[in-house]
Structure 1
Amino acid sequence: MDFSSFNFESSLQEGLDAMGFDQPTPIQEKAIPVIIEGKDLIACAQTGTGKTAAFILPVLNKISKSGSNNLNTLILAPTRELAIQIDQQIQGFAYFLGISSIPVYGGGDGLVWEQQKKALETGAEIVVATPGRLIALLAGGKIDLSSLEHLILDEADRMMDMGFSDDILKIVNYLPKNRQTILFSATMPPKIRSFSMKILNKPEEISIAIGKTAAGVTQSMYSVYDTQKEDLVSHILSQKNYEAVIIFASTKDKVKALYKALKKKFDVEAFHSDLEQLEREKIMSAFKNRAVKILVGTDIISRGIDVVGIELVINYDTPSDPEDYVHRVGRTARADMEGEAITFVNPKDQYKFVRIENLIGMEVTQVPLPEGFEKGPDYSREPKKKSGDTFKSKNKKSGFSKNKGGFKANPHKKRENFDSSAPKSAEIPQEKKSTSKKPGKFGPRRNVIDDAG
């Protein structure tokens, strides 16, 4: 089918034609008719599948048909970046319809706050907001939601993870009971299903490839020690003149340290929560325009950042949540394009990566470390030994023996000097055990990333 099958208003269809929209994605094909019919909806689809247009287009079509200029639709998003992203897409489609939207989010200065309040007083058909800032406006009587016809929750699983469930329920109390509620989520854990029953009315349900990565992504992994990561990421970036790369690290301190190391050789920027909102917007704009080619960030950019043409995603740290892996990898191979995702897996994170493989339903190809690198740790998909076996093994290796009184040093075994900077014995293959830190490509050196994190 094509978009003409939805029988959109002529002005909206003309806009889609002008923007090159031809065939809908699977989530658009299934969700748009349900939304047009006015039914509540729970839609589960992975990132990069066109879900934003799936709820924006039918809502714009309804507003265009009604001819009303009252506040019609409230879209809730977990982060300011996603709120801005959705608002920009609405502006692109609504340009042909004369419909206005307003992004409402925190993190800006007093001027941004005043601009948002003034825009709300002036009026708009669609408000895209983060829950915290919207509650502040509602409490101050700055926004009237009595005319609302649509409530849309985008990335509901992320909002639950961020603790917004109570805020959302507070917001719902301000809304008309007679409304259409639409919930989009990349995953559907029990808590989301349970929460949805509190605010939706007999919803239709759609699921598209839950927990799967896009078909166009080539995925691989390196088994590495933490001391090898910095040299490895530098090696990878040196192999090709990449135009758009995102590197994910687990903490903002690691982001800052990696940025400091990479900026000596590469065109890179750091993106984290310590930056002011204007700085973040400036960096993201530069990245979209290819003025900056490499972005190092935390999971703050794993959702809601729609930059077409990202060639490579590097997981500098293995994500703790398998679903976060899907979101990170989903930054590449968007809109049926191709991309590459590489993950660094250290010994203590091997079990995390096994869980990721179980979620995505495939074994990711392990790539040997490049020539010149020391051998990395052995990677095993087998479950670790039971705690009792591990305990017994550690007891034997450490030179301690067990008796009724607890533990005492074994007088017949000389105790080795303990190097606290070395990886734990359980994390090093037997034939490679050493009391010294694992050398990087250029020999032993201080691990600035770990020290910073």
Structure 2
Amino acid sequence: MNFNEFELHEDVLSAVDSMNYQQATPIQEQAIPYILSGKDLLACAQTGTGKTAAYLIPILDKVAHESNVHTGALILVPTRELAVQIDQQIQGLGYFVGATSIAVYGGNKGPEWDQQKKALTQGADIIIATPGRLIAHLQLGYVSFQSIKHLVLDEADRMLDMGFLSDILKIMSFLPAKRQTLMFSATMPSKIGELAKRILHNPEEIRLAVSRPADRIDQQFYLAKDEQKLPLLIHLLSQVESTSMVLFTSRKSTVEPIVRALKKLGKGAHGISSDSEQSEREIVLRDFKNRQFPILVATDVLSRGIDIDNLSHVVNYDVPRDPEDYVHRIGRTARAESKGIAITFINEHDQKYVQKIERLFETEVEKRAITQDLGLGEAPAFEPRRSRPSNDRKRKPSGSNQGSRPVSQAAKPGDEKSSRRPKRRKPKKEEKNNPSQA
């Protein structure tokens, strides 16, 4: 579908043409008419499908037709990187429209704070903000959002995962009840549906199926204990001459050790995490995009805020908990008919997440066990039913010593119930008399 068919303002069409947008993507084709008509929307589409433009284009069309003295649209996002990315996209699309915008993010007060305060006080056509930073401004009383007509929650699932629900609801208390609310999410867990019921009014829904990774991506899964991952990674990269690689880890404590190990190998590497200063993050991301060094190590929390494609390698140091996140990440490789390699390490506790990936792909993936051949010790067996998440251990009967037992000896739910009713049944006696139920 061509963008001319949406009957957009001529300034917006000029902006779309300047950005070299040819045809609307499926999410844009479905979302833009709903947003232009003023309806609330719940949309599920993976990263890389053009969903940011799907809501920016119709919002900019509203800006082109209206004259807002104060802020007309508020976009909430989970990370600083995504806020900056969207702000840059608005600058590109909004040039012909004359739209003003500002990204509100950061942890400490400084020059950025004063600039953000001025923009929030005077108003801008579009504000892009992380919830925590925006609340800090709102609590000081100089921000008025009574003219807000559009609220966008981008990467809504990630914001909920990061614990921003109470912040989102608090921000909404500052907004007018009569407004258009748009929720965009890469996944659709039950908590997204619950939030949608609370904040959306008769919404339209769009759910695009997650596309499968390109066949050009060589997906490699390796069984490895946590202590085996780093030497295994070094082995896998030792014979790779040139790379453009992003490595994702779920723990910020592992970022620096990985960077140091890669540098010892002679690989140029830098890392970013939530502990990094914003200015440092921006420099590292800029230099990586400009091919100043080949390997970027980043934590999961930044995975969707990193706008980097055309990678030769993506490494999942830890298996993503959501299979859609796995698809998003490895999809950064094998662009423009090139080939790519996706490496994923599987420890004992992440095996259940690999099963989710297999269910999404409707096929079993090959798991390689090569650590013993490399002198690193035996790799963990792939036994997802035996793997037990740490949260499960917390639900065991208090006072028991089952944390060190094999899974087959764990008490059943009935034992937990009986431990709460000692007068009716003694847990120790039941375990003794019913070993087959252990």
Structure 1 portions without partners, runs of 5+: 394-402, 408-453
Deviations 1:30-85 (A, max 9, x none): 11111111110000011221111111111111211224453110000011111111
Contact 1:311 1:339 in 2 (8 A): yes
Letter in 1 for 2:34: V
**Structure 2, unpaired ranges of 5+:** 389-401, 411-427, 433-438
Question: Which residue is equivalent to 2:177?
Answer: 177
Find runs of 4+ consecutive structure 1 residues off by over 6 angstroms. 334-337, 385-389
Partner residue of 1:51? 51
Displacement of 1:240 after TM fit?
3.6
* Gap change, CA 1:209 and 1:336, over 3 Å in 2: farther
d(CA) in 2 for partners of 1:392 and 1:180?
Answer: 54
* Range moving further from structure 2, 41-50 or 354-363: 354-363
Answer yes or no: is the 8 Å Cα contact 2:371–2:379 preserved in 1. no
Contact 2:214 2:331 in 1 (8 A): no
Q: Normalized against structure 2, the TM-score is what?
A: 0.82
* Superposed CA offset, 1:13-39 (max 9, x none): 223223221122211111111111111
101 and 392 in structure 1: CA distance in 2 versus 1, 3 angstrom threshold = closer
Would the aligned equivalents of 2:369 and 2:379 in 1 still touch at CA under 8 Å? no
SS in 2 for 1:303: helix
Query: What corresponds to 1:274 in structure 2?
Result: 275
| Alpha-carbon shift at residue 364 of structure 1 (Å) | 2.6
Residues 103-142 of structure 1: matches in 2 within 5 Å?
103-142=103-142
Is contact 2:349–2:387 with CA below 8 Å preserved after alignment? no
Secondary structure, counterpart of 1:263 in structure 2: helix
Map residues 2-401 of structure 1 onto 2, 5 A cutoff: 2-210=2-210, 213-215=212-214, 217-264=217-264, 265-332=266-333, 339-367=340-368, 369=370, 373-374=374-375, 377=379, 379-380=381-382, 383-384=385-386, 390-391=407-408
Would the aligned equivalents of 1:83 and 1:103 in 2 still touch at CA under 8 Å?
Answer: yes
User: Is the Cα–Cα contact under 8 Å of residues 302 and 331 in structure 1 kept in the other structure?
Assistant: no
For structure 1, which segment, 33-42 or 8-17, has the greater mean C-alpha deviation from structure 2 after superposition?
A: 8-17
> Residue type matched to 1:289 in 2?
N
CA distance in 1, matches of 2:269, 2:140: 41
Residue 47 of structure 1 contacts residue 330 of structure 1 at CA under 8 Å; is this kept in 2?
A: no
Deviation at 1:196, TM superposition (A): 1.0
- Find the residue that maps to 1:124 and give its secondary structure: coil
Q: Residue 194 of structure 1 aligns to which amino acid in structure 2? A: E
Tell which deviates more after alignment, 26-35 or 228-237: 228-237
Structure 1 residues 167 and 378: alpha-carbon distance in aligned structure 2, compared to 1, 3 A threshold: closer
AA in 2 matched with 1:96: F
- Separation (CA, whole Å) in 2 of partners of 1:159 and 1:36: 25
Change in Cα spacing, 1:227 to 1:35, as seen in structure 2 (3 Å) is same
Q: Give the deviation of 1:125 after TM superposition.
A: 0.3
The two structures have a TM-score, normalised by structure 1, of 0.79
Report deviation, 1:379: 4.6
SS of 1:71's equivalent? coil
Residue in 1 that maps onto 2:396? none
Q: Secondary structure in 1 aligned to 2:148?
A: coil
- Identity in percent: 49
- Aligned to 1:340, the other structure's residue is in SS state strand
Letter in 1 for 2:193: R
Tell me by how many angstroms 1:224 deviates: 2.5
| Contact 1:243–1:290 under 8 Å retained in 2 | no
CA 1:3 to 1:361, structure 2 compared with 1: closer, same or farther past 3 Å? farther
Q: Distance in 2 between matches of 1:95 and 1:385?
A: 53
